[in-house]
Amino acid sequence: MTAFTLTNLRLIDPESGEETRGGLTVEDGVITARHEGSGPGVDCGGLCLAPGIVDIGVKVCEPGERHKESFGSAGQAAAAGGVTTMVTRADTTPTIDNPETLEFVARRAREAAPVRVLPMAALTKDRAGGEMTEIGFLMDAGAVAFSDGDRVIKSTKVLSRALTYARTRGALVVGHVQEPGLSAGACATSGKFASLRGLPSVSPMAERMGLDRDIALLEMTGAAYHVDQITTARALPALERAKKNGLDITAGVSIHHLTLNELDVANYRTFFKVKPPLRHEDDRMAVVEAVASGLIDIICSMHTPQDEESKRLPYEAAASGAVGLQTLLPAAMRLYHSGDLTLPQLFRALSLNPAKRLGLPSGRLSVGAPADLILFDPDAPFIMDRFTLLSKSKNTPFDEARMQGRVRATWVGGKQVYGEAP
């Protein structure tokens, strides 16, 4: 592997929380030096260089629904979006709940994806909430975390036993916090907008109630736990108390809940139907502030491909989810250009914190870290055309939106996997 030096960069360092001018050198897939000012090397023209994004919660539809997304198409979309590590979900067909299926997924990822792929496995068999999976065997096969995705385990006994066993094995559990009775069948957040549109809705308290239950079980079991999405202001005080009490809990939020609100649904635009549903503007701003303060640790794409037949239906009947691997960075730039988050704050949540949560050495620009890097222009304007996305499915809520921020090059382990040499 050849060595190279990049100069004339805006270095976005989420560890120090600073943005500096300089360059860095890569040798054998590792960052070996940082430089101040200008010097010999490839002149990058003042573009930004940041650690590659570690995206927790990506759905790749292999096995079972390869027509929606494959490891090849997802990997290409990830590279084009600056995502150097995809942490994939277990909600496939069949579910990733045994070592054989997990090994198939890992093999397909190695063969087809140009970026790193780390699979999650289901916490219960077939994500049915009844019987715990073989956590130990699945960890041996390569599972980095355990989650039933957006299916809430209703039985507190089953969940408590799973959390207890996960703690003994040092496994991370990823949970979706919603009170299942209140949220069943809902596709909007309760309030004036949902009432005017006649949409089945759910109170933001359903998220708070689900979080309260899981926090109580964490106090009982001592497990390591990551909340996949916190989207409401009502849930934030409970999360803050849990952290102050020393529980091993982190929380994430999708880029869609950070940059969109319920009014974007307008007249039943199903590309905006996600789970949980888009929230009030006050909730969105509260969650943005929680990311800025560090209360919410991680920003993810929650990439969920759906085909045209699944989305071209009445709003209530349409499938939930949006693709996000390629739109994650330009959507995040909305928060930078609005002054809500700095670039180091963004990459703390996009790269450093997810890497730390999973025990990965990436997500950093420090000497000795893997050269998983993205070069991007935060100001480059464009109009999003969903048909230019590299994902097989094109269900993005940002179609025809005016956006800023383009990835110019992506490296994984020092190997360039997207873009032209600067």
Average pLDDT over residues 382-406: 97
Other CB atoms within a 10 A radius of the CB of residue 266 amount to: 10
Q: Render pLDDT for 335-388 as a digit per residue (tens, 0 to 9).
A: 999 999 999 999 999 999 999 999 999 999 999 999 999 999 999 999 999 999
Mean pLDDT of the chain, nearest integer? 96
Beta strands in 267-327 (DSSP E): 298-300
Q: pLDDT by residue (tens digit) across 201-231?
A: 999 999 999 999 999 999 999 999 999 999 9
Percent of the chain with pLDDT over 70: 99
User: Residue 263: is it exposed, middle or buried by C-beta count within 10 angstroms (0-12/13-18/19+)?
Assistant: exposed
- CA angle 21-26-31, nearest 5°? 75
Confidence of residue 421 (pLDDT cuts 50, 70, 90): low
Per-residue pLDDT reduced to its tens digit, 149-164? 999 999 999 999 999 9
**C-alpha–C-alpha distance, residues 260 and 340, integer Å:** 14
Q: Report how far residue 131's alpha carbon sits from residue 161's, in angstroms, rounded to the nearest whole number.
A: 10
Give bridge partners of residue 377 from the DSSP assignment.
406
Q: Is 246 exposed, middle or buried (0-12, 13-18, 19+ CB in 10 A)?
A: exposed
pLDDT > 90 fraction of the chain, expressed in percent and rounded: 97
- How many C-beta atoms surround the C-beta of residue 5 within 10 A? 16
Contact at 8 Å (CB) between 218 and 335?
no
**pLDDT tens-digit map of 96-110:** 999 999 999 999 999
CA angle 110/116/121 to nearest 5° reads 80
| Gyration radius of the chain over CA positions | 20
Beta bridge partners of 20: 11
* Three-class DSSP category at 304: coil
Element (H, E) at 77: helix 71-80
- The pLDDT assigned to 38 comes to 73
pLDDT at 422 over 80: no
